[in-house]
């Protein structure tokens, strides 16, 4: 179940491929499996069945939920990157420095992966239903593989200090109150915001462009935000965080 070093190195490629297939859903035309209706509309129609709420109420509810999910994803990604550092977040190889127990890492061990999952769930609302189910299932398994692979790697490299961290901090469901004290590390907020343009773009798309009900426009906006994020990440300075934990 553990992800390999190759999966970690090519994680962006794998995730982009799963998302692309989710939007494309070629099996709809090829084998007649499902209809090309966005999950957002499908959920609103299900909620507005006879005896349920009005469609005019259901669609804003679904949009609002998706926007909140995207906001949570962006917030977790920015918060985690601000403390971990853009160098470690973007690195192609697993790295083990000292145990990171600052910022969101005092509440849960994998804020970046949880943030990514929330972002993917928000994006899935724009996919055909079958494509959304496919993408979320594949990405959930893939993220869990990455998490388990990294935890095994870090435990082997860092030893007992990291194992103590594993026992103190939950993997994905955050504690309401941290059990570890803060060491007073300084976050790099501006660099984190620049590095996380993609989840910010997904949030803006769901929060504002979804009210146009133009699915193609929203997909284009997400593609643009992803492209811009790749360019900006390539131009970011190679700052060195005080403590590091590859994720």
- The CATH number of whichever domain residue 159 belongs to comes to 1.20.120
Give residue 96's pLDDT. 65
Domain membership of residue 127 as a residue range: 5-235
In a domain, 242, yes or no: no
Contact 102, 243 (CB under 8 A): yes
- The structure's pTM equals 0.92
pLDDT at 209: 96
Return the pLDDT at 243.
35
Burial level of 87, CB count in 10 A (0-12/13-18/19+)?
middle
* Residue 183, pLDDT score: 78
| Local structure of 95: helix, strand or coil | coil
pLDDT under 50 in the chain at which residues? Answer: 239-247
Report if residue 243 sits inside a domain: no
- For 174, the token pair is 């955050």
Residue 202 lies in a domain: yes
Write down the pLDDT at residue 238: 65
Residue 119 lies in a domain: yes
The Cα 71–Cα 200 span in angstroms is: 8
Find out whether 116 and 27 touch, Cβ atoms under 8 Å.
no
pLDDT value at position 200? 98
Answer yes or no: are the C-beta atoms of 16 and 10 closer than 8 Å.
Answer: no
Asked whether residue 225 is assigned to any structural domain, the reply reads yes
Using DSSP's 3-state secondary structure scheme, residue 17 falls into helix
The answer to the question of residue 208 being in a domain is yes
Give me the number of domains the chain comprises: 1
Q: Would residue 240 count as lying in a domain?
A: no
For residue 246, being part of any structural domain is answered with no
């Amino acid at each position: 179940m553990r992800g390999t070093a190759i999966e970690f190195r090519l994680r962006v490629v794998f995730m982009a491929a799963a998302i692309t297939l989710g939007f494309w859903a070629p099996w709809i035309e090829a084998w007649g499996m499902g209809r090309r209706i966005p999950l957002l509309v499908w959920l609103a129609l299900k909620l507005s069945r006879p005896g349920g709420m009005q469609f005019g109420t259901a669609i804003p509810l679904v949009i609002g939920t998706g926007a909140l999910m995207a906001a949570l994803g962006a917030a977790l990604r920015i918060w985690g990157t601000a403390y971990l550092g853009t160098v470690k977040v973007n690195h192609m190889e697993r790295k083990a420095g000292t145990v990171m127990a600052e910022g969101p890492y005092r509440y849960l061990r994998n804020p970046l992966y949880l943030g990514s999952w929330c972002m993917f769930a928000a994006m899935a609302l724009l996919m055909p239903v079958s494509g959304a189910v496919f993408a979320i299932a594949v990405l959930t398994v893939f993220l869990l593989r990455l998490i388990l692979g990294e935890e095994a790697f870090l435990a082997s490299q860092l030893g007992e200090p990291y194992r103590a961290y594993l026992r103190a901090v939950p993997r994905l469901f955050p504690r309401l109150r941290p059990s570890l004290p803060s060491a007073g590390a300084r976050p790099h907020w501006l660099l984190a915001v620049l590095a996380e343009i993609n989840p910010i773009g997904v949030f803006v798309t769901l929060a504002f462009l979804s009210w146009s009900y133009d699915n193609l426009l929203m997909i284009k906006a997400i593609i643009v935000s992803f492209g811009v994020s790749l360019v900006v990440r390539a131009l970011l300075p190679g700052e060195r965080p005080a403590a590091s934990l590859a994720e």
